[in-house]
Each structure stands twice: as C-alpha cells, then as structure tokens.
Amino acid sequence: MNTQKHQPIGVFDSGIGGLTVANAISKLLPNEQIIYFGDTAHLPYGDKSKELIRSYATTITDFLLHEKNCKAVVIACNTASAAAYEVLRDTYKGIAPVINVIDPMIEAVIADEEIKKVGVIATKTTISSGVYQEKFSRRKPSLQYTELATPLLASMIEEGYYHNNISEAVIEKYLSDDALKEIDALVLACTHYPLIKKQISTFYKNEVKIFDSAEVVAQKLNWILQKENLASDKKQATDIFYVSDFTESFESTTHIFYGKEIHLELNNIWKKE
Ligand code: DGL
C-alpha cells in the first residue's frame, strides 16, 4: 500500500461528542487535515448492542478509508471502541492503522505508580462490555478496579447542562455511589465527559486524579504517525465535519465540544447503499 503523508486523518463518533478528540488532534497536529464523521442518525451508541455498533463502525471506516482516502482512523468514541475496535483493527490490518480511545487511557493510568485503585465511568454499553476491567486486569493485575455506568451524563451534557446546579446534582449522585469508594483515579470513559472534568475534580476536592481520553489519544496518534513515517508537514486542505443526520441543534452544540461553532455537512452514507 502506498500511503501518502498528506492524506487526511479520519475521526468518528456516534455524534458530536468525539469533537473533543478531534479538537485535541487539531491542536497537537495542526498540519493534519481531519475528516470527521458523527453518526448522529444512530445516536446514542451507549445503549445499543455490540453487533449493531460494529456494523455502523465498519460502514463508517470503509467510507473514511475508501471514499475519503484517510491514512489512519481514530475511533473517537468509547462505546464504539469497546464494541468494535478489535474487529476494525483486524479488518483493516495492512491498510491503515486504527486507533481507539481505550488503550491510550489504560497505558496512561497503569504508568502512574501512585494509583492503587481506579474507577471508570461510562455508558451502559461500555461498562457491560467489560473491556476496561479486562484490559486493566491483564495489563496490571495488582491495580484494584471498580466501575459505574452513568447513562444520564452524555445526554445531560449534550443538552448543555454541564456547569449548573442540575449537572452538579446528577454528578454528585453518581460519584457518591458506593461503587466508586476510595478510588485514587477516575477514568472519564466517554467523549462527553471532558466537559464536566472541572465539576468532577471539585467533587473530589482535587484529591482524585482524573483522566480523559482527548489528549492521550492525540498523543498516541502522533506517535503512530511518526513511527509509520506518515506525519504531514503541511496542511493540504481544511477539515471537514460530516454528520449522518443534520439538525441546527447539532450544529449549534458543536461549540461545546470543539471550542467554537463549526459547520456540519450532511452525509448519510447508509442512504447510498
Ligand atoms: N460517544 C459515546 C461514548 O464515548 C457517548 C454517546 C453515545 O452514547 O453515543 O461512549
């Protein structure tokens, strides 16, 4: 395969939450063109079956690699990473690297010797996949592990409730759960949660280390591009942000996740099949 440095990076999520990861990538790697795909027609992934998410993720990755000529694909969604990463990695082996949001986070946590007990909060599908538990126990058996599904958080943030007393009450309710007792670190295993990182730190009086995926994933991508000699030295074209279903509300919410409002382009890749 003859991959060129100037080809874009594909980034996808169930919706627009993955823009937190796209934003971290564009800050760390300003020479890379990003082609983002938010599967807003099938959102949320957090309560869908693994099989269905795998089928969505495969169609999106085919689109990014074959129609958009991307040189690498980032699964900027915890739920899709939990359900579909291994399938995508194996399917596109030798074609393009596929990066998920879970492994870089696991690596960051296990490298910190001070952490004895880690907690994970995520959607129902991510938690029930057991993927964090399995990866932590395989990579560092001495680390104590606990987890909690926090299904209200993603929709709450998407509705713009993330710095007010309602979000504070919901966050407090979840974090006070016995399941998260005595942790020294908390993994925010959902694309939306960086938006409430501050409130979570405040709840823990800054005594618990909080990990979110956006930056560690951007660093992992950088590492892979350098290793494969695929890093671009000049941005060739502007970023494109596709969604499979368009509403004005999606577009106006982009500023929450990307820091500024961006234009979303409707592209329902399922309608073409
Ligand atoms: N993007 C999803 C994740 O990171 C959250 C939203 C959804 O459930 O689709 O898990």
Calculated CA dihedral for residues 19, 24, 30, 31, nearest 10 degrees = -80
The pLDDT value given to residue 273: 53
CA–CA gap between residue 44 and residue 124 (Å, rounded): 11
Q: Enter the DSSP assignment of 180.
A: G
pLDDT of residue 271: 86
From the CA of 46, how far away is ligand 1's center (Å)? Answer: 5
Predicted confidence at residue 160, as pLDDT, reads: 85
Q: pTM for the whole thing?
A: 0.94
CA of 1 from ligand 1 middle (Å) equals 32
Indicate the burial class of 136 (C-beta count within 10 angstroms; 0-12, 13-18, 19 or more).
buried
Q: Which two tokens stand for residue 144?
A: 């104590």
What pLDDT digit, counting tens, does each position of 105-161 carry? Answer: 999 999 999 999 999 999 999 999 999 999 999 999 999 999 999 999 998 998 888
Backbone angles phi, psi at 188, to 5 degrees: -90, 90
Within a 10 A sphere around the Cβ of 243, how many other Cβ atoms?
Answer: 23
User: Does 190 qualify as catalytic in the annotation?
Assistant: yes
Nearest Cα residue to atom 6 of ligand 1: 44
CB-CB contact of 21 with 213 (8 Å): yes
- 31-71: per-residue pLDDT in tens? 999 999 999 999 999 989 999 999 999 999 999 999 999 99
CA angle 240, 241, 246 (to 5 degrees): 140
pLDDT of residue 158: 85
Residue type at 28?
Answer: L
> Does the pLDDT value for residue 272 go beyond 80?
no
> Among residues 77, 83, 186, 187, which one is catalytic?
77
The mean pLDDT of 241-260, rounded to a whole number, is 93
pLDDT in tens, 153-200: 998 998 888 889 999 999 999 999 999 999 999 999 999 999 999 999
Which residue, 131, 237, 242, is CA-closest to 187? 131
Q: What is the pLDDT of residues 210-229, one digit of tens each?
A: 999 899 999 999 999 999 99
In ligand 1, the atom with minimum distance to the C-alpha of 123 is: 10
Question: Ligand 1, from 192, 211, 257: best to mutate by most atoms within 8 Å of Cβ?
Answer: 192
Domains and their CATH numbers in the chain: 9-100+215-266 (3.40.50.1860), 103-213 (3.40.50.1860)
β-strand partners of 122: 149
Ligand 1 atom with the smallest distance to the CA of 47 is: 8
pLDDT band for position 239 (cuts 50, 70, 90): very high
b/e 246-263 (16+ beta carbons within 10 angstroms → b)? beeebbebbebbbeeebe
Q: Span 73-90, mean pLDDT?
A: 97
Partners of 146 in the beta sheet? 119
Catalytic annotation on 70? no
Quote the pLDDT of residue 47. 87
Q: How far is CA 43 from the centre of its chain?
A: 14
Pairing outcome for strands 265-266 and 240-243: parallel
Three-class DSSP category at 159: coil
